[in-house]
């Protein structure tokens, strides 16, 4: 698959962007908080690895991976990340409808972008949606406390706490990884996450493109309740819930089916 890597300027950051071009339909793949396209491959969340015959755009969100960023929490709100995404799509796929796929923070970014520009997306594949609405309040407090831990005790303490936390059954066997974020930016990313929420239920209900929502069980940061709510609100959404690694391994096939949908 012919692949090109480039940087793309957005206000306050330079995004590291990778385009795998086999012709065919345009697809954009996002990642989760503190991750990157490289780390998502390790975590088995790179669903694009199963695609062929597409133009697949992957990139590291601002402050993540190989992209740059500023230590400004407001820069990492999902609405700002949606601005970045829409700028990228205008540059790489001008005037085209694009299939969007991404986990957690990527799901939040895609939903904000779809609300803002309803005609931009042909379909969505949303993975492990994060806490939202009522469940977001407590999670925002967790993010603020984590930012304080990083500032007072260092990123290694934050990483160790994450390593010791219970893992969802569907992720058992996945390799241990560390945040793909520079230490000096991590508190700002965490505080930025505390400022985020999904679009309102009323806004989500206006997203009328075919959508697959894929969740896994026993993950308080990505509760099945959010996935169920999204699937109920969006008029053309279906829901799948995984409780084993084998079920997660079928997710790339779900994306292939979504992209191939007429």
Class of domain 3-260: alpha beta
Distance of CA 235 to the CA centre of its chain: 22
Q: Which two tokens stand for residue 200?
A: 């309102």
Q: How far apart are CA 140 and CA 143, in angstroms?
A: 5
**In a 10 Å sphere around its CB, with 0-12 CB exposed, 13-18 middle and 19+ buried, how is residue 18 labelled?**
middle
SS (H, E, C) 43-68: CCCCHHHHCCCEEEEEEECCCCCCCC
The pLDDT assigned to 3 comes to 85
State phi, psi for 58 to the nearest 5 degrees. Answer: -120, 150
Q: Name the 3-class secondary structure at 25.
A: strand
Distance of CA 155 to the CA centre of its chain: 22
The pLDDT assigned to 208 comes to 97
Neighbours of 27 (CB within 10 A): 25
207-237: string of b/e by CB count within 10 Å (b at 16+)?
bebbbbbbbbeebebbbbebbebbbebbeeb
The pLDDT assigned to 44 comes to 82
Q: Is the dihedral of CA 129, 202, 235, 83 positive or negative?
A: negative
The pLDDT assigned to 207 comes to 98
DSSP-assigned states of every residue in 95-144: T--EEEEEETHHHHHHHHHHHH-GGGEEEEEEES----GGGHHHHHHHHH
The pLDDT assigned to 169 comes to 95
Q: How far apart are CA 124 and CA 110, in angstroms?
A: 8
Q: Contact, 221 vs 133, CB < 8 A?
A: no
Q: pLDDT tens for the chain, 262 residues: list them.
A: 578 999 999 999 999 999 999 999 999 999 999 999 999 988 888 999 889 999 999 999 999 999 999 999 999 999 999 999 999 999 999 999 999 999 999 999 999 999 999 899 999 999 999 999 999 999 999 999 999 999 999 999 999 988 888 899 999 988 888 999 999 999 999 999 999 999 999 999 999 999 999 999 999 999 999 999 999 999 999 999 999 999 999 999 999 999 999 8
Q: Contact, 75 vs 63, CB < 8 A?
A: yes
Question: Where are the extended beta strands (E) located within 174-236?
Answer: 211-216
The domain segmentation of the chain, as residue ranges, is: 3-260
The pLDDT assigned to 100 comes to 98
The pLDDT assigned to 1 comes to 54
**Size (the chain), residues:** 262
């Amino acid at each position: 698959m012919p692949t090109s890597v480039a940087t793309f300027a957005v206000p306050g950051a330079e995004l590291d962007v990778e385009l795998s071009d086999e012709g065919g339909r345009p697809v954009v793949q996002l990642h989760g908080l503190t991750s990157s396209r490289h780390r998502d491959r390790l975590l088995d969340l790179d669903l694009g690895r199963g695609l062929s015959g597409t133009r697949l755009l992957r990139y590291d969100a601002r402050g993540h991976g190989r992209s740059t960023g500023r230590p400004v929490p407001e820069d990492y709100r999902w609405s700002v990340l949606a601005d970045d995404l829409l700028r990228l799509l205008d540059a790489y796929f001008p005037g085209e409808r694009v299939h969007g796929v991404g986990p957690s923070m990527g799901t939040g970014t895609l939903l904000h972008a779809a609300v803002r520009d309803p005609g931009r997306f042909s379909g969505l594949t949303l993975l492990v949606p994060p806490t939202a609405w009522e469940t977001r309040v407590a999670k925002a407090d967790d993010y603020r406390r984590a930012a304080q831990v990083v500032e007072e005790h260092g990123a290694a303490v934050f990483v160790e706490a994450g390593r010791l936390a219970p893992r969802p059954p569907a992720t058992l066997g996945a390799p241990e990884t560390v945040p793909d974020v520079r230490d000096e930016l991590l508190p700002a990313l965490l505080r930025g996450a505390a400022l985020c929420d999904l679009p309102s239920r009323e806004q989500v209900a206006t997203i009328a493109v075919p959508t697959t929502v894929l969740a896994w069980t026993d993950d308080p940061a990505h509760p099945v309740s959010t996935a169920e709510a999204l699937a109920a609100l969006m008029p053309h959404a279906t829901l799948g819930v995984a409780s084993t690694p084998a079920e997660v391994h079928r997710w790339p096939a779900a994306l292939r089916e979504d992209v191939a949908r007429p």
